[in-house]
Amino acid sequence: MQIKFKNNDLDNIVSMINDLTIKGASINRARFSVLKLLNNQLEDLNEFKKQLIDQYADKDKEGNPLVEDNQYSFTGGNAIKFQNEFNTLMAEEVKITIDDYSNQFKKLYDYLNSYDKELTGASAYAFGAFLDELEAVGINK
């Protein structure tokens, strides 16, 4: 069984799950297992982002990406090339095989369906996207 998310949503989903107020050892173990899988994908995504920065950003004397005013520096058409490739990367879907962790995903899904704390902004969106995808693959059955 595989779940899919857009790369653009992955960081918000990880943050939302990580920030949940959860009591109980069993559900916290389930959260840990789910986060472990999602964080592996997030690390891969961050590596791809780093590769794009290394490819397109201006470099300092040591060959490291140049940062000015807390932003990477791009000259010529490199800013547009970087932004286009970055947008493409973030729009891609990541597929995560959850077969070995389906019980943990089910446990977290059940818990989240009765979660009564307030969620706003990106966390609220991530909450919905996460539950929608779990339902799409039948984890709720």
What is the pTM for the complete model shown?
0.85
Segment 26-52 mean pLDDT: 95
Give the model's pLDDT for residue 140: 84
pLDDT for 70-109, tens place per residue? 999 999 899 999 999 999 999 999 999 999 999 999 999 9
Listed by start position, the domains of the chain span 2-136
Phi and psi, residue 72, nearest 5°: -70, 145
Query: What is the structure's pLDDT at 54?
Result: 96
Q: What is the mean pLDDT of residues 30-56?
A: 96
Query: Could you tell me where the beta strands, DSSP code E, fall in 89-131?
Result: 93-97
DSSP letter for each residue of 10-78: HHHHHHHHHH----SHHHHHHHHHHHHHHHHHHHHHHHHHHHHHHHHS-B-TTSPBPEETTEE---TTH
The pLDDT, as a whole number, for residue 17 is 95
pLDDT at 141: 80
Taking only the tens place, the pLDDT of each residue in 103-139 is 999 999 999 999 989 889 999 999 999 999 999 999 9
Q: How many CA atoms lie within 13 A of 4 on its CB side?
A: 6
